[in-house]
C-alpha cells in the first residue's frame, strides 16, 4: 500500500494522539503516505466545502509534538449518517478514488462495526480499541482506560481527604457507559468500601446496611464508587428507594418524581435517610476522566498498536482489531472480537464489597 488513512471515532480517549503518532511514524518508515481523516466517519462524507477540513496529510513534522497531548487532534464525533449503507458505499468509492488503500480506525465497538462494513466494501481496515470504558471483551485493556482510572484514583483521594475531615460518606460516580470496569478498578485502587456496577444487580438497602456496619466499626468516611451505567438501567430497588425518600420528606416528592431516573445526588440523599448519622455527599467526575494525557500504560500500548496496525496493512492482513491478551499486544478478526461476550470479575467485585 502506498497511501493509507487514520481516524479517531466515538468518545475520545487518552492515548488516541499517541496512537496516531505511532501510525504516522510507522507509515513513514514503510514509505506510505498517511492521510488523517477528521471527526470520525464524518470526514469521509465530504460534508465540508473545503476538503482540508476533512482530511490532512500527516507527515512526521505535522505530528511531532502531539503524542503526549490530551484529546484527539484529528477530532472525533459520532456520525449517524454512516449507519446508512448507501452513505457507506459512497464513502468507500471516494476512498478508492482518492487512492486511500487502507484505513486504521481508533474507536470503540460502534466504530469497529463501521470498520467491518467498510471491509465488506473492499476497504481494508484495522481497528485499535480507543475507549476509556474498557467494554471490549476481546482485549484486557482498551486505550485510555488505564489513564481514566488514574484520573479517578487521584480524584477519589482528594475527595477522601475532605470526607475524612468532615466524617462524611462519599458517593463518587465514574463513567464507563454500560461497563463497570472503571468503577471496580478505581474502587480497588483507592480502597473504597463499596462499588456498584451495571453488570451486577444491587440493592440500596444492602448498601445502607454496609455503611451502617462500617460506621459502627469506626469508618466514618466510607467511599462508594458508582458506575454511571447503574442509573441508566433503573432497577426496582431504585424506584422503591424513591418511595422511601418521599415517605421521609413530603417536599422531595415535588423535586424527584418516581419516574425520573435516579442519580448520584439522589442516591446520596437516600443513604442519608437510611443510615443514621451519615452525611453522604455525591461527586460526579465526568469528562475529566477523558481529558488527561496518557499515562505510561496507554502511551506504551498506543506506541505498539499504532505500529502493528500499519504493519498489518502493509502485509495485506485486514479486517483485524488489535488488543491485549495475557499482557501482550495481539490481533484477531473484527468479527470474532465483537462476538466475544464480556465477563465481569465478580470475585474482585465481592472482595471490594466485603473487605
Applying CB under 6 A, among 117, 222, 312, 337 the residue interacting with ligand ADP is 117
In the numeric block, which cell numbers belong to residue 294?
496518557
The span from the CA of 108 to the CA of 127, in Å, is: 9
The span from the CA of 164 to the CA of 336, in Å, is: 47
Of 4-12, 138-146, 291-299, 341-349, the segment contacting ligand ADP by CB under 6 A is: 4-12
Exposed/middle/buried for residue 320 (C-beta within 10 Å: 0-12, 13-18, 19+) = buried
Minimum gap (Å) between residue 266 Cβ and ligand F6P = 19
Which x/- pattern over 222-241 shows residues binding ligand F6P (rule: CB under 6 A)? ------x-------------
Question: Does 15 interact with ligand F6P (rule: CB under 6 A)?
Answer: no
Q: Which of residues 41-80 bind ligand ADP (CB under 6 A)?
A: 41, 78-79
Minimum gap (Å) between residue 106 Cβ and ligand F6P = 13
Of 67-75, 156-164, 171-179, 194-202, the segment contacting ligand F6P by CB under 6 A is: 171-179
Question: Does 290 interact with ligand F6P (rule: CB under 6 A)?
Answer: yes
Q: Name the phi and psi angles at 89, rounded to 5.
A: -65, -40
In the numeric block, which cell numbers belong to residue 44?
469521509
Minimum gap (Å) between residue 137 Cβ and ligand F6P = 15
Helices (H), 128-287: 145-166, 181-190, 204-216, 229-232, 236-248, 250-255, 264-274
- DSSP 8-state assignment for residue 275: S
DSSP secondary structure of 302-347: HHHHHHHHHHHHHTT--SEEEEEETTEEEEEEHHHHHHSPP---HH
The span from the CA of 261 to the CA of 204, in Å, is: 15
Minimum gap (Å) between residue 262 Cβ and ligand F6P = 16
Distance between alpha carbon 165 and the CA centroid of its chain, in Å? 32
* 102: partner contacted, choices ligand ADP, ligand F6P, none (Cβ within 5-8 A by kind): none
Q: Which is nearer to ligand F6P, 131 or 320 (CB)?
A: 131
Handedness of CA 148, 149, 153, 156 (dihedral sign): positive
Question: Does 176 interact with ligand F6P (rule: CB under 6 A)?
Answer: yes
* 36: partner contacted, choices ligand F6P, ligand ADP, none (Cβ within 5-8 A by kind): none
Question: Does 142 interact with ligand ADP (rule: CB under 6 A)?
Answer: no
Contacting positions for ligand ADP (CB under 6 A)? 9-11, 40-41, 78-79, 82-83, 107-111, 113-114, 117, 131
Contacting positions for ligand F6P (CB under 6 A)? 11, 131-133, 175-177, 228, 290
Amino acid at each position: 500500500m502506498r497511501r493509507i488513512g487514520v481516524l479517531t471515532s466515538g468518545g475520545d480517549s487518552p492515548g488516541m494522539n499517541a496512537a496516531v503518532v505511532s501510525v504516522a511514524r510507522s507509515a513513514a518508515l514503510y514509505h506510505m503516505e498517511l492521510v488523517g481523516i477528521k471527526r470520525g466517519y464524518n470526514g469521509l462524507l465530504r460534508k465540508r466545502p473545503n476538503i482540508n477540513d476533512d482530511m490532512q496529510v500527516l507527515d512526521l513534522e505535522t505530528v511531532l509534538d502531539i503524542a503526549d497531548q490530551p484529546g484527539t487532534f484529528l477530532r472525533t464525533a459520532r456520525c449517524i449518517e454512516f449507519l446508512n449503507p448507501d452513505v457507506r458505499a459512497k464513502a468507500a468509492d471516494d476512498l478508492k478514488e482518492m487512492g486511500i488503500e487502507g484505513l486504521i480506525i481508533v474507536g470503540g465497538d460502534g466504530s469497529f462495526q463501521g470498520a467491518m462494513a467498510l471491509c465488506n466494501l473492499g476497504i481494508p481496515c484495522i481497528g485499535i480499541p480507543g475507549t476509556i470504558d474498557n467494554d471490549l471483551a476481546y482485549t484486557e485493556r482498551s486505550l485510555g482506560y488505564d489513564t481514566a482510572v488514574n484520573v479517578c484514583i487521584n480524584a477519589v483521594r482528594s475527595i477522601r481527604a475532605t470526607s475524612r475531615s468532615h466524617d462524611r460518606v462519599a458517593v463518587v460516580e465514574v463513567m464507563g457507559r454500560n461497563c463497570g470496569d472503571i468503577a471496580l478498578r478505581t474502587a480497588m485502587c483507592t480502597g473504597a468500601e463499596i462499588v456498584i456496577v451495571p453488570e451486577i444487580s444491587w440493592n440500596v438497602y444492602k448498601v445502607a446496611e454496609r455503611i451502617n456496619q462500617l460506621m459502627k466499626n469506626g469508618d466514618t468516611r466510607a467511599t462508594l464508587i458508582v458506575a454511571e451505567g447503574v442509573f441508566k438501567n433503573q432497577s426496582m430497588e431504585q424506584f422503591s428507594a424513591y418511595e422511601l425518600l418521599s415517605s421521609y420528606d413530603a417536599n422531595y416528592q415535588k423535586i424527584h418524581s418516581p419516574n425520573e431516573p435516579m442519580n448520584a445526588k439522589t442516591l446520596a440523599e437516600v443513604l442519608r435517610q437510611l443510615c443514621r448519622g451519615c452525611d453522604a455527599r455525591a461527586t460526579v467526575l465526568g469528562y475529566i476522566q477523558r481529558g488527561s494525557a496518557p499515562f505510561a500504560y496507554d502511551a506504551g500500548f498506543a506506541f505498539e498498536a499504532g505500529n502493528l496496525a500499519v504493519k498489518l496493512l502493509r502485509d495485506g492482513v485486514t479486517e483485524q482489531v488489535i488488543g491485549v491478551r495475557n499482557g501482550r499486544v495481539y490481533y484477531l478478526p473484527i468479527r470474532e472480537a465483537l462476538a466475544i461476550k464480556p465477563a465481569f470479575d465478580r470475585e474482585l467485585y465481592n472482595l471490594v464489597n466485603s473487605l
